[in-house]
Amino acid sequence: MTISLFIEQILNGLQFGVMLFLMSAGLTLVFGVMGLINLAHGSFYMIGAFAAALFAELTGSFLIAMIASFVAALFAGALTELIIIRKIYKRDHLDQVLATFALILLFSEGIRWIFGAYPLYLDIPNSLSSSFNLPFEIIYSKYRMMIILVGIIIAIILYFLISKTLIGIRIKAGQNDREMIGALGVDVTKLYTIVFSLGAALAGLAGALIGAIQSVEVGMGEPVLILAFVVIVIGGIGSIKGAFVGALLVGITDTMGRFLLPSFFSYFFDNASATSIGSSIASMSIYILMATVLIFKPSGLYGVKK
Amino acid sequence: MSKNSILIVLLILIIGGGTYYYLEKQKKDDVVKVGMITTLSGGGSGLGIDVRDGFLLAVKDNKNIQVLVKDDQRKPDIAVQLADKMTQSDKVDVLTGIIWSNLAMAVVPAAVNQDIVYLSPNAGPSALAGKGCHKNYFNVAWQNDNLHEAAGGYANSAGYKNTFILAPNYPAGKDALTGYKRFFKGNLAGELYTKLGQKDYAAEIAQIRASGADSIFFFLPGGMGIGFMKQYAQSGIDLPVVGPAFSFDQGILKAVGDAALGVKNTSQWSKDLDNEANKKFVSEFKSTYGRLPSLYASQGYDTGMLLLSALRNSSISDKDGFRNALKVADFSSTRGKFKFASNQHPIQDIYVREVIKEGDILTNKIVSIGLKDRSNAYVDACSLK
Amino acid sequence: MIKEEKLNLIILLVLFVIPFLAYLFNEPYLTTLTTKIVILSIAGIGLNFILGYGGLVSFGHAAFFGIGGYVTGILASHAQNSEQMFFFLQFDGSNQILFIWLISIIICSFIALLIGYFSLRTSGVYFIMITLAFAQMLYYFSISWPAYGGEDGLSIYVRNVFPFFNTMNPINFYFICFTWLLIFLTILKIILNSSFGLVLKACKENEERVKSIGINPFNIKLISFVFSGAITGLAGSLYTDLNRFVSPSVLSWQMSGEIMVLVILGGVARLYGPILGAVFYIILEQTLGGVSENWQFWLGLIIILEVLYARAGIMSLFLKDSKS
């Protein structure tokens, strides 16, 4: 194993983590501010990817496709919030789980109805399809580098949005005391719609960015949703900082686990069983990470103890 | 809701159910009932839809065949329950349709032991080809290893000496790599099992780059393969790639895009195979459904044609005669030559295809034959003669 | 509109009569389907015990359902092939269903003890997610562990043997499952009315109060969790025998979700809620599945309407004095 391969894998972990952050940011805010468990968050990821694929085919422009993904998920989020979600904020978590589970069925089958059963085409633009040559003979994909940059920029924007702007202060106040900000004359309903749609839009953008290098298909959101929940639980629910740290932890653990564990086991077993055992444990690694974190910090790394 | 309205709803349900039941029972007895359990909803439904459409296209003119199609949602327990329903209540004579090996393993052993004939249009797990073979089980597609074996054979003829191979960490993935290694004579630069359902292969591609391989073989069905091919094309690595047809078939090619251009893949069927049956199939499929047929559609169609041929030459009431008629396989297959080995899996040519562009549409053309008259590795373990 | 006790009795009566009707109309599949309803009800009742009464939302009950299923499958497959279990155990497995139930319950209880011990340190959403994490670990393990088929699953071809009854007869097997349902309903009713049940419900409302009377709520919750896991595990064992097959899909998060949906759909913290939930869910799945390829779309729509307008589950639709 060479140093350059090792660094390249760290970068891959980082890129995966940053993408998870885009997914988790909305989820953690929606839970922190509105107290809503939103299983349908993965559907916005899917909607973003499908919108991007559609607009990429219509216009041929990758940038327009990305904007379309953001806008489509924003609208889908707003619409869902207005029609259904706002009716269940005050409900039990269980009702929320059931309703948003039903939304998954609705969105997935709805998309399949419209776009058909086979995956759609979405590819990255030519200008980003080559690789960089970094120091230490590291070769790294321009597109993945761009994902890392976009993710970090969005993280910084979100950080300022929440700590410096009026709406951020309201969001934070909402996390601490929901009744109070209403009493202070803040339009809570509008605030909730904004937060929910913004979270959905970020998920949609993540779906489009990732759909371009993976695949755009029905059901693509749910595995990512589970990972995003893992992230926000590790980071501590409601904390953007926690989501960021948790996302990077999960991204790097998963990537490095897949990379290192099989070669680690090859010291003990023959090659075929080592790769098999190694990859079995690698696929469990993030759940082991999460269970360990929660055993020692029951409210996640940056969570507030209630 | 008042008591009365509940009563009315109940009454309607009972009357409706009774009528439905009565009508079902009125159906004639001389028809052949075929139960098709396949994946029609959720992920992977494209394959089931194609198998169904291909099969229905084949049997559409035969009024004596009644096909019952049910969605298994890709869940083995649902598939088992549907098989129970079809054998117990609907009393089907023939079962078919299952796409996935794990679902086939759940349904087939029990069904064939109840003297139901099962025609497999897609899955061919090794457990059903060797010791577990059965006189009522006919595989019309391939034994699972076949396409991978042909890829290994092709790698030899292309002169590859040092191949990097990868597949998901589940039984079919392990069978794939075993199948490849059975024919490949060179060295392995690396062997990787990935997580089932994994979509990001950055870590694996980095390892491939570092491994010094001269070629790559992969088996990553569905969305996994789309992700791999796109990311591989972006990585700038320029090694030749070989894979089974699943990641380069008609339904999925559009999603892979230009990244697939030039890739060699192995398949027992191709749209451009030059025989009468295939030409008829391709044009009828296009005119009926408005899209190009896929590998799966061809397998569904061949399954239907096989059934028709057996019904022409025998009667369903004579099970032994029916089985013999099936085994003769007296039909013109879309793949040209087709006959059954003693364990009732196909003996057929496996072709090497290359992904090309016809105008704007990505599709495949045959470039050579990977393995000629390939049977399968499990024939001797099967007690059928 | 009727009293809850009356509704419960009607539910049981209907379940009791269906197999006879199925026999009369020569529709044996109806019996199989109802068996599935009963088994899922048992799994749901197990979950409802901690979810409804203890306020512990476990998103990982597929772990127990799956382990019960795999214990059954593994013991039976060893017995059929007369292979020794592992290298150190001088034991060929068993196809005696009574013995299999016992082992399933013991192993599921043990696993539930382990999972519960670590998970119960957390609460709320963290508890939901940590139980999911444990179930996911088992799921990925089962997919990649080749000895028992991995993702292909494990077929046992014939149901396990019950003394004096042929379990392959759908009606016999149905009544075995139905009896288990009755047993668990009875035991749970007794427990819920006992002082233990009262303390469990108190843990949901206010843990501090429980502590103040000198009881450690952790122990109460752990015991309940183990009990709940054992019930769901037994349901998993029955499910393997129903299908004569077990595969990793019974350990997936979708399975956990499905069990939870049955419970919520029927009505949380009502003993018979999960049964009604299972009946409703299976009927929808069967009828919608026949009508449209996009049946999951309509299923989603119906569930949403149910959540929005039948707030306390389907049970409440039939009851006069809704508890919520």
How many structural domains does chain A have?
Answer: 1
State whether B156 and B257 are in the same domain.
Answer: yes
Q: Which range is least confidently modeled, A77-81, A149-153, B18-22, B93-97?
A: B18-22
| Structural domain contains residue A253 | no
State whether B119 and B155 are in the same domain.
Answer: no
CA neighbor of B20 nearest in space, from C19, C284, C29, C25: C25
Residue B257's region, left for phi above 0, alpha for psi from -120 to 50, else beta, is left
Q: Which domain holds residue B232?
A: 146-267
Residues of chain A contacting C261 with CB distance shorter than 8 Å:
98, 101
Among C27, C36, C151, beta carbon nearest to B89? C27
Tokens of B224: 């996994």
What is the rounded average pLDDT of the residues A199-219? 89
What is the rounded average pLDDT of the residues B318-347? 91
State whether B176 and B212 are in the same domain.
Answer: yes
State whether B235 and B295 are in the same domain.
Answer: no
Percentage above 70 pLDDT, chain C: 95
Q: Among B233, B267, B301, give the residue marking a domain's end.
A: B267
- Residue C322 reports pLDDT greater than 70: no
Highest mean pLDDT among A218-227, B248-257, B349-358: B349-358
Which chain A residue is nearest to residue C297, measuring alpha carbons? A106
| Structural domain contains residue B23 | no
- pLDDT reported for residue C85: 67
Does the beta carbon of C124 lie under 8 angstroms from any beta carbon of chain A?
yes
| Structural domain contains residue A235 | no
**Contact between residue A85 and residue A96 where contact means Cβ atoms under 8 Å apart:** no
- pLDDT reported for residue C292: 72
What is the rounded average pLDDT of the residues A72-95? 88
What is the rounded average pLDDT of the residues B202-225? 88
**Contact between residue A35 and residue A179 where contact means Cβ atoms under 8 Å apart:** no
The verdict on a CB contact (< 8 Å) between A298 and C133 is no
| Structural domain contains residue A145 | yes
By 3-state DSSP, what share of chain B in percent is helix, strand and coil, each rounded to 5? 45, 20, 35
Half-sphere exposure of B341 (CA within 13 A, CB side): 23
Q: What is the distance between the alpha carbons of residues C210 and C201, in angstroms, rounded to a whole number?
A: 10
Higher-confidence residue: A34 or C109? C109
The verdict on a CB contact (< 8 Å) between C144 and A291 is no
How many structural domains does chain B have?
Answer: 2
- pLDDT reported for residue B279: 94
| Structural domain contains residue B128 | no
| Structural domain contains residue A111 | yes
Residues 140-179 of B with CB under 8 A from C: 169-172, 174
| Structural domain contains residue B75 | yes
Residues 94-123 of B with CB under 8 A from C: 101-102, 105-106, 109-110, 113
| Structural domain contains residue A212 | yes
The verdict on a CB contact (< 8 Å) between B101 and C152 is yes
- pLDDT reported for residue B3: 58
Q: What is the distance between the alpha carbons of residues C58 and C62, in angstroms, rounded to a whole number?
A: 10
- pLDDT reported for residue B173: 87
- Residue B168 reports pLDDT greater than 50: yes
Residues of chain B contacting C295 with CB distance shorter than 8 Å:
41, 71
- pLDDT reported for residue A190: 84
Residues of chain B contacting A262 with CB distance shorter than 8 Å:
192-193
Q: Annotate chain A with DSSP letters as a single string.
A: --HHHHHHHHHHHHHHHHHHHHHHHHHHHIIIII----TTHHHHHHHHHHHHHHHHHHH--HHHHHHHHHHHHHHHHHHHHHHTGGGSTTS-HHHHHHHHHHHHHHHHHHHHHHH-SSPBP----GGGSSEEEETTTEEEEHHHHHHHHHHHHHHHHHHHHHHHSHHHHHHHHHHH-HHHHHHTT--HHHHHHHHHHHHHHHHHHHHHHHHTTS-B-TT-HHHHHHHHHHHHHHH-TT-HHHHHHHHHHHHHHHHHHHHHHHHHHTTTS-HHHHHHHHHHHHHHHHHHHHHHHHHH-TT-SSPPP-
pLDDT in tens, B293-321: 999 999 999 999 999 999 988 888 888 99
Alpha carbon of B89: minimum distance to chain C alpha carbons (Å): 5
CA neighbor of C177 nearest in space, from C31, C321, C20: C31
- pLDDT reported for residue C157: 77
| Structural domain contains residue A187 | yes
The verdict on a CB contact (< 8 Å) between C304 and A106 is yes
Q: Among B267, B285, B300, give the residue marking a domain's end.
A: B267
Among B46, B227, B257, beta carbon nearest to A214? B227
- Residue C324 reports pLDDT greater than 50: no
CA neighbor of B152 nearest in space, from B217, B87, B208: B217
- pLDDT reported for residue B10: 64
Does the beta carbon of C143 lie under 8 angstroms from any beta carbon of chain B?
yes
Q: What is the distance between the alpha carbons of residues B11 and B13, in angstroms, rounded to a whole number?
A: 5
What is the rounded average pLDDT of the residues C35-58? 94
Q: Which domain holds residue A19?
A: 3-219
Higher-confidence residue: C209 or B21? C209
The verdict on a CB contact (< 8 Å) between A291 and C137 is yes
- Residue B199 reports pLDDT greater than 70: yes
3-state secondary structure C50-107: HHHHCCCCCCCCHHHHHHHHHHHHHHHHHHHHCCCCCCCCCCCCCCEHHHHHHHHHHH
What is the rounded average pLDDT of the residues C200-229? 89
Contacts of C230 (CB under 8 A, 6+ apart): C46, C64, C105, C108, C109, C112
| Structural domain contains residue B8 | no
State whether B151 and B262 are in the same domain.
Answer: yes
- pLDDT reported for residue A149: 92
Q: What is the distance between the alpha carbons of residues B168 and B172, in angstroms, rounded to a whole number?
A: 8
| Structural domain contains residue B205 | yes
| Structural domain contains residue B137 | no
**Contact between residue B151 and residue B145 where contact means Cβ atoms under 8 Å apart:** no
| Structural domain contains residue B61 | yes
Q: Collapsing DSSP states into helix, strand and coil, what is residue B275?
A: coil
- Residue B26 reports pLDDT greater than 60: no
State whether B286 and B263 are in the same domain.
Answer: no
- Residue C200 reports pLDDT greater than 50: yes
| CATH number, domain containing residue B162 | 3.40.50.2300
- Residue B27 reports pLDDT greater than 60: no
Which one-letter DSSP state was computed for residue C194?
A: S
Alpha carbon of A305: minimum distance to chain B alpha carbons (Å): 35
